[in-house]
Structure 1
Amino acid sequence: MAGPFATTVMHLSTGSVETVTDLTAGCEQFLTDASGGRDGLLSVFAPHTTAGIAVIETGAGTEEDLLSTLHHLLPADDRWCHASHAHDRPGHGRDHVVPALVPPHATFPVVAGRLAIGSWQSICLVDTNPANSERQVRLSFLG
């Protein structure tokens, strides 16, 4: 039987454009291996200053809507104090504000070893910094 605490790190390559990456299947696989069928909590954490964790419906255009909304709220231009010249693209400072709106963490209930989320909910990594395409997401189960 699995112990009361388990953790792993998912390694992702998000590519050269802003992305919303569905992590739900990876979370479910981790729970199959780690939960021992127990109730508990799943913590999902992205240790990056330019990425966050969102719970959204995927596959119906919501990913593009979310990225568009972030662009509307946080335009990629020269208004940001955080220097963008080191990253060779204007507006990189906005990427560092994204985690204030899309936090880098979320916690989910686990019932009988399975995610207890809504039918249309998916757990996603929101990455607005294509200059850093190698990402990690830490999954931790406490049960």
Structure 2
Amino acid sequence: MNDAFRTTVLHVTTGSRETVKDLTRECESFLADTAAGADGLLNIFVPHATAGIAILETGAGSEDDLLAALRDLLPPDDRWRHRHGSRGHGRDHVLPALVPPHATLPVIAGRLELGTWQSICLVDTNGDNPDRQVRLSFLG
């Protein structure tokens, strides 16, 4: 393995309700330990069939707006063919088609190049699985 590639896994508890969890600080901490001031790319990947990664503003209501939009697009009801788990769980398996399970972001001089209001968030609508893993990988 190349010295310019580093990876780690975050263990995130999301709880029993749909949630948007800000991971920006964890990503910045990972880069502080691994990027050493270098340029490169940060890849964030959630290896779950019912969660995704979104880049959005946090703290001003956008998290609730996103979850409301997802409820409108993917209602938690009995219309889904995928029927194991709690009521409406089939929608959770469609989520990654709309909120992908990954994001790749530029890193310049060891720092994330996010816009002023952008944050890196785990989006999880699956209350049946509160324990998530998120893999962070730096290539520089």
Per the normalisation by structure 1, the TM-score is 0.95
Give 3-state SS (helix, strand or coil) of 2:28's partner. helix
Residue correspondences, number: 139
Structure 1 distance, partners of 2:118, 2:78, is: 35
Aligned equivalent of 1:43? 43
Between the two proteins, what is the percent identity of the paired residues? 67
Structure 1: stretches of 5+ with no match in the other structure: none
Structure 1 distance, partners of 2:95, 2:109, is: 34
CA RMSD of aligned residues (A): 1.0
Give 3-state SS (helix, strand or coil) of 1:96's partner. helix
Give 3-state SS (helix, strand or coil) of 2:96's partner. helix
Structure 2 distance, partners of 1:14, 1:72, is: 21
Structure 2 distance, partners of 1:90, 1:35, is: 43
Give 3-state SS (helix, strand or coil) of 2:15's partner. coil
1:94 alignment partner AA: R
Aligned equivalent of 1:31? 31
* 1:16 CA displacement: 1.2
1:39 alignment partner AA: D
1:126 alignment partner AA: V
Deviations 1:116-141 (A, max 9, x none): 01010000000000110000000000
Aligned equivalent of 2:109? 112
Give 3-state SS (helix, strand or coil) of 1:12's partner. strand
Please give the residue correspondences for 1:36-75 in structure 2 after superposition, counting only pairs within 5 Å.
36-75=36-75
Aligned equivalent of 1:142? 139
Matched, 1:91 2:84: no
Deviations 1:20-73 (A, max 9, x none): 000000000000001011000000000000000000000000000000000000
1:92 alignment partner AA: H
Give 3-state SS (helix, strand or coil) of 1:120's partner. coil
1:6 alignment partner AA: R
Structure 2 distance, partners of 1:16, 1:66, is: 18
Structure 1 distance, partners of 2:12, 2:120, is: 14
Structure 1 distance, partners of 2:116, 2:133, is: 26
Structure 2 distance, partners of 1:76, 1:12, is: 23
2:122 alignment partner AA: L
